[in-house]
Chains A and B, each alone.
Chain A
């Protein structure tokens, strides 16, 4: 990180450090070194004095040592050859009688980050692991991870790993937690540290001795442990009960997540846990720290997705204070919007009504949109409030209200009448593109009920030349044409002018094309236009119903207490993908496991599948696609080439199955939903010689037998049998997982 303007300073400091008078005076010497560090922290390039700093490391003064080591860790990657000179001193310090010096030297040596340092640090680390001072052991344990990171591709050292596993029994709690952290990094390619029964129980017993950070992390590691019996499970839950009341919000959330994960087959326990953490969570929501508040609110929203009534009694807690920062206010408004019920709707709406006149336009608009959200269930009250807001005649309020109206009319057609009465007079208060589009759309679709609709649109047409947004012009064209169909006499002239303008003068191609398109459409006759523009709309209730369905707790339990509730799963997935794709060089180490859930097919099984398909010399083409119609035709045409009954246990999880089949390049054409009886699925695959395989899975009245029928386009028995064995493996694996 070279920054300009440092040359003179470096020169001066270099001179000072070489000065024997200063070297003789401990205080002055240290002051010079402090100045170097100070410049370093400000981002000046201080690598020029590396040689002098190495010399300064040979001292008995601990502070000076600390400073020099700090310096070295920063610049060692830039000057690896010079840094080697310092290693001798560091090695000597690693056997100093003072444990602090030993720890310090070991830590610095492990942080040097330069090639070739590994051979020097290995022995000191091993010694450090057996040091009698816990301080040194802590450093040494983390040192193992740092050493491994220096040579990421090198093999995992088995003896070291064993040593670390045995140190999990160390009497110092921080050493124990550091062991977990270190093993996790070293073994990340093998899925991280393994938590088996003895380790899990040992950790559970040590929990109360750990500090809050340790507790949080151990709770996270324990997620990997699957208790063998119900009894053991409830023992664990009892043991961890106290942590739901911890003073640290992080520990509470960690414990909650563990509870939710462990009790995934006991919905009533999950619900109980969520009731228990209600208090701590609400406390975090009103915590002094704004940032904690924010994170807690995100989690509250997550819980509300599954238990809509969970916080309804406490709705007043989510009322905004004037002095809160925006991000909290916005979250609170969202929460309020989600916990509305029959009893509190009046109070919540009144509160939200107050926010609509907030000084901050963004917040006011968010409040208006929230009222719009509530309007889906409590239409009448909300529309009344929104109509009153129009009376304020403020630009940002009016446009937000009109946009809300647009969405509302689409979702709850019954409120169209009220909206239409409110609309006249809004036009003069709307300036932005979104608001204009919404207003024009409304006027177009419901124009027959608004007396002055044609004249408002006419005004827009008059000013179309100065209109800057193409989207508004497009909307205007469509709206005017629609209105023309219901009120031809008032619109004909205006429509003519607009179409003429669009075709002759408009510079935006999309608008011009749309104009031409409508012109030609009109030429074909008015009935055709009606048929195209006023055909029945798609059913709006479809999307809505899906949104409101309550998600099961298990669908988000694995994301609880991660960044997902704060930024959404999709967002996080894209970011981690990006990171994976672009990960390169030493700047980005730690290819962390971002996967929030376990991979569907365990590694070993995947290999098995690969092997099988290789053996039969069958290569299925990835991404082959056929349509359902084509499938049906072919299926009826072909004869069954093979039929077989496979053992099956438990219910079918269509999604899991589909993903698993995708892995081996078998496409799913159609599948019954989970739990249906009889359950059917149709699959297809194609090998590299373009031979098509079609298969039917049938789970009949007897759920322990899966009937498989396969049809083949060209009769080739060898390929057929290998296809069947692939299918068998997948079904076998999935059957094992789900049961």
Chain B
């Protein structure tokens, strides 16, 4: 039994190798957060190792320890493998299969590994959508009403009601304790819930602090005014589901608006549901502005106050915004005749997935190098330029004299052309599919297609490592090349298998697709053999065990 007071990731890393040699382990943690982090890591490690099976479990463990990786690195790699199926297959095939080492595999993928910081590992929890409606627990027996205030609710109150936040910062702990503050606040809320505006005014007159909670929030009105000035006046008139006012009155929330008309002295104590709703919605949509631990009320209040201050300062310093806004307005509500020239529409540049080009390589298979595929021999004779230009000129004047012939083409020839074209198009349509983007690959059964593409990417990977090891200057490279060569020679029978597993109508096309892969492998082998011969000729004797 292992008791971890502080989760130590190095310890876990070392444990993971021990873990997979059997045995059960129980971990003890101090807090839930620690346990969660550890659990994630261990689950990932188990998933990673679980696939390899028992026989190879020592190898990755050894590899892990050899490299002195940090845990974050390991985690990141595991995550990358889990997300990309293709990468995982390649990794399994080569690293677990012992053809490449872990370091070599990742050496060509540095870019992937560097993307460490971009994503946050966990989802952030947003604010609750529920408005804290006053439904206090009241037991029917006594006159007590209980309000439950969790840190979450307190955070929400501070975010939505800046006056309360300011009051908290001002009053606590100088004038009253936290408990008193919240009791007063709850009393104010209770008064509001009774809809008794007159009573609210009365109590406010007596208790100064209570008055703060009962009155309308001035800070809020100022904020609202500022926001209004920055609203984009151009309006998208398109109606959508959100404009549905018909079906749910008050949007489903329980509130009753009192319709009495009161004296103006009571006006400040009136609360409007729509105002509350709008402010609540604005705060929820803005999300969590501060990332402070919710336990300490004071720090939450201060953090929110600071954020608002910073926002205000930014707005003041950003005088450009209004200018930009007016530019935008003039652009959107434009009068076309008065506009100047604008940038041209261009297709964005993008690096395409090489797998899209896979089936187009068939053409290479058919054409040997250096021959542009001419079936017809062009007469290669030496022509003087004078002669050539002269004959061209003659031909041009011939047309000028005779003019266009009538008919321009012999009708029989035209008919032959048309039927030839039609046949061509319909046969390619039959073979390759209707849309111009479909290809041979899509018409094959899915398994075959996946296999072919996978073989192609794995051959690319092998060849990448193979060619980069030349010239062979160290023993390490020599063993690496031998390993790669063995792996490559095993690909041939696999490709043959695929060819045979397909239906006979597709067999020809599949062999055309497979051809470039075989050619690439053949070229690699030819180079290997040539290099070996050169070496043995140089050394003058055959190395031991060499064929």
- Asked if chains A and B come from one complex, the reply is no
Tell me the A residues contacting B by CB distance below 8 Å.
none
